[in-house]
Each structure stands twice: as structure tokens, then as C-alpha cells.
Amino acid sequence: MFGRLRVASVLLIAACVAAAAEPTAKVYKGHLVIAPEAEVFRPCGSNEPLWLDYTKAVRASLFGRYIELRKKPYAETFVVLRGIPGPQLDCGYCEHFKGSFKVLEAIEQRASGPAECK
């Protein structure tokens, strides 16, 4: 019995340590471009675009609204996203970007203006 209790305790502690090591999602504002070879988010205050890492459902929502809002190809839209910045990904075009952004939720998306990040 004590052996099972010990194993259960070790597993519980390992799960808690793993959960504590995971980054916490935050809300970020910035600019979004979705095009054939660029699916990027540039957070306000940064010059470094991050490759988007998102589910098909989140992409469909963001891309549909992006098409409605943009005035020309590669135009930026302003977004408020909840997510986690991450490492460079290994996938074709995304290898040209130093980092990624895991989108967990799209909170807001609108046409981009010059003062959106202020």
C-alpha cells in the first residue's frame, strides 16, 4: 500500500512542477498579417514579428476577419490576442522568424491605424 501511495505522491509532485514550469498566457496587443508566406503577429513595442501558432478554428476566425478589414494584400490589422510567445518553429516559412506566438484566444480585431499601439 505504501508503495502505491509513494508512486502517487511522486506523480502528483511531478505534475505540479511541470504545470509551474509552463508559461502563463497573457493578453497582447499588436499587428497581424496573414498571407500565403507570412502568418505573423508583431506585438506593440516590438519590431520583431512572431510566427503564429494556432488551431484551425482560431486561424479561420482571424483570417476571415482579416480579409474583411484589410485594404490591400499584406496590410496589417490591429489585434488583441491572449497567448504565449514561444521559440522559433520548424516549418517552411516560419523558419525565417526568430520566434512564435501561440494564440489561445482572439479577443479583438479591427482595421489598423497609425496610433493603435499607443
DSSP state of 90: -
Greatest Cα pair distance, the chain, in angstroms, is 68
Domain 24-111 classified CATH 3.30.70? no
User: Quick one: pLDDT at residue 19?
Assistant: 47
Domain ranges in the chain are 24-111
Nearest to residue 39, comparing CAs of 82, 2, 84, 91? 91
**What whole-number distance in Å separates Cα of residue 16 and Cα of residue 32?**
35
Distances (CA, A) of 21 to 95, 98, 102: 25, 22, 16
Q: What does the pLDDT look like over 59-96, one tens digit per residue?
A: 999 999 999 998 888 899 999 999 999 998 888 888 88
**What whole-number distance in Å separates Cα of residue 47 and Cα of residue 117?**
12
**Three-class secondary structure of residue 72 per DSSP:** coil
Query: Taking the model in full, what pTM does it have?
Result: 0.77
Q: What does the pLDDT look like over 26-53, one tens digit per residue?
A: 999 999 999 888 899 999 999 999 999 9
Q: Write out the three cell numbers for 112.
A: 489598423
CB-CB contact of 27 with 101 (8 Å): no
